[in-house]
Structures are given as C-alpha cells and as structure tokens.
Chains A and B, each alone.
Chain A
Amino acid sequence: MECLDANFPVCHRKVSLEIKGNKTEIVICSYDDHILVIATQIGAMGTILHARKEEGMSVEPTFSVSVIFGKRDEPMLVATARRLIDHISSHVPSKPLILSLGLKDHSSETLKEIVAAVDR
C-alpha cells in the first residue's frame, strides 16, 4: 500500500469508483494491528464488521466474522467481510480487518465490485 504521507505511521489509500450508478468511495488504512476498509455510497460508515483469521491446529485456517455495529441481518455483508479477510490475510497474516459498508444496495454485484476494488 502506498503511503501518501511518509511521516505518518498509518498508510492509507483512497479509491473512488462508480458501481451501478452509485458513487462509491473506498478508503483503506493500515494500522499496526488492524486493517480498516471503509466503503461508502451514503456518506456514512454504515454497518461495521470485524473479521479475523484464526490459526488453529488444522491445516485449514478458520475465520471469525461478526457485525459489530449496524445491520445484523444481512448475510451478504458478512460474506463480503469473509472474502476480504481471506484475501488480506494472504498478504498480511496477523492483522484483523475492520470493514465498514455504507451502501445503498447490498446486491452481490455491488459487493463483488467492492471486493475487486480493494483487491487492486
């Protein structure tokens, strides 16, 4: 992740794109012990999720994803967080993810585009 300000310990990246006609702003910040991803179409953080990878005894890693603020009845949001922590943990294994999704629609196309934008 490029650091826009070399003197500041937290690196962040901003992406602006249009998804299904809705202007979407994505901000990704990297702290010492967490990664924060904010994806907003509504001008607010919306639902906040927490996702972490748990290294267990078995070969397959397990992931723990939960909504910590906002809509708890939208499984697609949880699935998006799960998808993102899977990708992020392959690059930065020990950092859990805090994902904030303030979206106008929770369709799978929108969420796929957001995952693709963050992956880039």
Chain B
Amino acid sequence: METEYDQVLHSVAQVKIADQINDSGDVNRDEDGVKVSCFTEVFDDVTLQFQIIRLTKQIYVWIGYNSAKFGNLYAAASTRPSNTVSVTSVLGGTSDNTGSGIARRLVMKAGLNIILACNIPKNNPLLEAKAEKMLIRKLIDLGYTMPTPLRAT
C-alpha cells in the first residue's frame, strides 16, 4: 500500500521527467504563437540588423547590412537519410551565395529548417562570419538552438 510519502516521491519524480523533456531543446509546445525578435549590432562603422521570426517548425531570419533591403533569400533544411544540410537560393543570389553558408550552419545549430534573407555584400567573408556569430549567440540566448547540433557529414 502506498504511503503518503511514497505518493509525494512519485509526484516529485514525475516533475523531474517533465523538466527533462523541456530541456531537450524543444520550445514549449503549448506556445503556439509566432515570436518576432529584432536587434541591431553596430561595429566598425557597420550596422547589422537582425530580425528573427520563430515559427513552430521553422525559423525565418533577416540580416540587414546598413539598410533595410530584403536581400537574397535562401532556404536550408536537413535532408534524409543522413541529416546532411542542403541549401538553395530562392530569390536573388549571385554566384557567390553570400549568406548560404550562414543558412546551412544555422540549420546545424538550430535543428529546424531555416529561411534566411540577407543583404550582406559579396566578397566579405569576415563580415559574414561576424554576422553569423552574433546571430548564433542570439539564437542560443533565445533558446532556439539544439543542445547537440546536427553533424555535417
């Protein structure tokens, strides 16, 4: 026969299991709404603006370089069977694909499909890397990343 003590222990154990599920990196499934986050970073005379729209199964990101132009649009997702990440240019996109690398690595970090719009000029890998670093830091802060990122194969 279960004593009251046993019942309390049982319910405490259940609380722990619920915490583990939340820790798995999934955003709380009860939160259905779309969340929009905007922020700006300024450095070296360059202004980078970021807009992150978090949908339940996808993240849309816009990166603005010194202006609010939409830029080139890329879509990236992990593809079966081995979870490699594929990226494609959806709108715009010169031959150097500035931004496609960012989209790929975001999918690896976030585990969700990414749609990225980016107007960073081409031939500027340092700027791309900086933007990516800021973006990933913010995604981690917002809790949109997975604890164990997808591996590139």
Contacts and interface: CB of A to CB of B under 8 A. Distances in A.
Interface of A: 4-5, 7-10, 12, 14, 16, 23, 25, 27, 29, 31-34, 36, 38, 40, 42-45, 48, 50, 68-69, 98, 100, 102
A48 B90 CA distance: 9
B31 to A, nearest CB: 11
B88 to A, nearest CB: 8
B144 interface: no
Given A10-B62, A14-B36, A69-B75, A45 B49 contact: no
A36 B90 CA distance: 14
Interface of B: 32-34, 36, 38, 40, 49, 51, 53, 55-58, 60, 62, 64, 67-70, 73, 75, 90-91, 113, 115, 117
Contacts of B73: 48, 68, 98
12 contacts: A9-B64, A10-B62, A14-B36, A29-B62, A32-B68, A38-B53, A38-B55, A43-B58, A48-B115, A68-B73, A68-B90, A69-B90
A33 B119 CA distance: 11
Contacts of B60: 38, 45
Contacts of A8: 38, 40, 49, 51
B55 A98 contact: no
A43 B56 contact: yes
B49 A32 contact: no
B32 A44 contact: no
B85 to A, nearest CB: 17
